[in-house]
Amino acid sequence: MIHRLAGCWRFWGESHGYFDSEADAEAFYDELVYMMVHQMCAPNSPQWFNTGLNWAYGITGPAQGHYVPDPDTGEVFLASDAYTHPQPHACFIQSVSDDLVSHGGIMDLWTREARLFKYGSGTGTNFSKLRAEGERLSGGGKSSGLMSWLKIGDRAAGAIKSGGTTRRAAKMVCLDMDHPDIETFVNWKVREEVKVAALVEGLKQLKKSDESIRETAERLDINLDYDFNGEAYATVSGQNSNNSVRIPDEFFDTVDAGGTWETTWRTTGETAREYEAGKLWDDIVYAAWRCADPGVQYDGTINAWHTCPNGGRINASNPCSEYMFLDNTACNLASFNVLTFYDAQTQTFDVEKYEHGIDLWTTVLEISVLMAAYPSEVVAELSYRYRTLGLGFANLGAMAMQAGIPYDSDEARAPLRLPQRPSSPGAATASRPSWPASTAPSPASRPTARACSASSATTAAPPTAWTATPPSGRTSASGPCRSIRTSAPAARSTSPT
């Protein structure tokens, strides 16, 4: 599996000019294999599900409606099959318009979400454009309201297992505080939790008091309990998404002033329902305490920190909320296991090796943007233009514990205070940090896979250094496109920035 991923990344990088030579591409592959085998870094799950299935095994599959950007022009076209261009991104943010069946509308969103869920990705959407309950429709009558559509999306997400496995689909639902249905949305999951309790406890009592009910329940094998994956929770709505409210600074000003919070109709912009701001805030707090939803996203602060404000507002996030960016964009992720860069015996952190890993994996994520397929035309266009990447870390708490640093302390929140491993005498002229020799064998089923080093762990030399260069016609802003560090790291500040 690791060969499938690393080999595919190498293939796309090599065929699009990311390396100066075949030796550079070989070193890139070798180091990625070593890091994944030794759990030093790992990509997000859609990479494991999808990347390299076509490259390694020739799998294609019928086209699923994905779009692919041309790597030279940025123009997008429909993918010809499901896996030549895989779906490696984990995080998506998609928009929805107040339209039932047209392109970009409500039913179209469920199709786009299904396209993502099928291949293991997650998606978030701000639904504030949808009309509230009771708003007039253009053809006469009144809207059934936001919540009726959210319940359809909830059912669809629950029916599709992420990547075809056992995990539920990953879905985020965001709503602005000025939507007329905000109170119903805030209390949605609280009401459903009460319904679950009524179902579970009610059946217990009915079995005791009504012999017919008990016999029927046994006949149909009805056993209701509080298992989140059980029948009781499957019966109620709202269990297949994370819900969040987008709170502007003005709302807290209104709460502090003891004022009334006004919402607006989606079609006219006129004042709709009014709520006591303090009570609405109490509802949010109580709901989060009672059932962990809704989360809060501080809209004013998020947009004040926006790195690309000229591209539009940030309206939503991915399901886990680590990705907050423009609508109709995607982000692919990887995480370092920082514990593997830490020497517990000497209590030093190998910054030089860590920085080299960042160079490698930034290039992996950039290549992933190049090779990817996307759920819609606009997502393909914007993801190609912005090329958002997410490179994080894991096991920071375990590293702090091994270092004898209290987890909840200022020292733990400033990991660069850890002593750094001294550079070797030849560090100033070394072509790259020296990795330990690998003993991982080549996959038996893929004889073309390379081992990470020579067979002798005691005498093996590290792989040749690689240098990424900008592909033809692309500026360095599209990727790291710079040489690996050739000297010891510069001294770093110890301030917790």
C-alpha dihedral (264, 270, 275, 281), degrees to nearest 10: 30
Beta bridge partners of 170: 122
Q: Structure tokens of 469?
A: 């260069």
Cβ(366)–Cβ(480) below 8 Å: yes
CA distances to 384, 470, 487 from 477, in Å: 12, 9, 24
- What are residue 58's phi and psi, to 5 degrees? 75, 15
Question: Which one from 75, 201, 218, 322 is the annotated catalytic residue?
Answer: 322
How far apart (Å, rounded) are the C-alpha atoms in residues 324 and 93? 8
| Residue 75 is among the residues annotated as catalytic for this protein | no
Phi, psi at 331, each rounded to 5°: -135, 130
- State the burial class of residue 291 (Cβ atoms within 10 Å of its Cβ: 0-12, 13-18, 19+): buried
Q: Any catalytic annotation for residue 322?
A: yes
d(CA 199, CA 217): 13
DSSP letter for each residue of 69-125: E-TTT--EEE-SSSSSS-----EEE----S-SSSTTSHHHHHHHHHHHHHTT-EEEE
Q: In 3-state terms, what secondary structure has residue 59?
A: coil
- 318 catalytic per annotation: yes
- Could you please report the per-residue DSSP string of 402-438? HTT--SSSTTTT-GGGSPBPPPPTTTTT-SSPPPPPP
What are the distances in angstroms from CA 297 to CA 10, 67, 107? 38, 30, 26
Of 26, 250, 320, 411, catalytic: 320
In the set 315, 318, 328, 332, the catalytic residue is: 318
Residue 365 exposure: Cα atoms within 13 Å on the Cβ side: 30
**CA distance linking residue 4 with residue 51, whole number of Å:** 7
Q: List active site positions.
A: 318, 320, 322
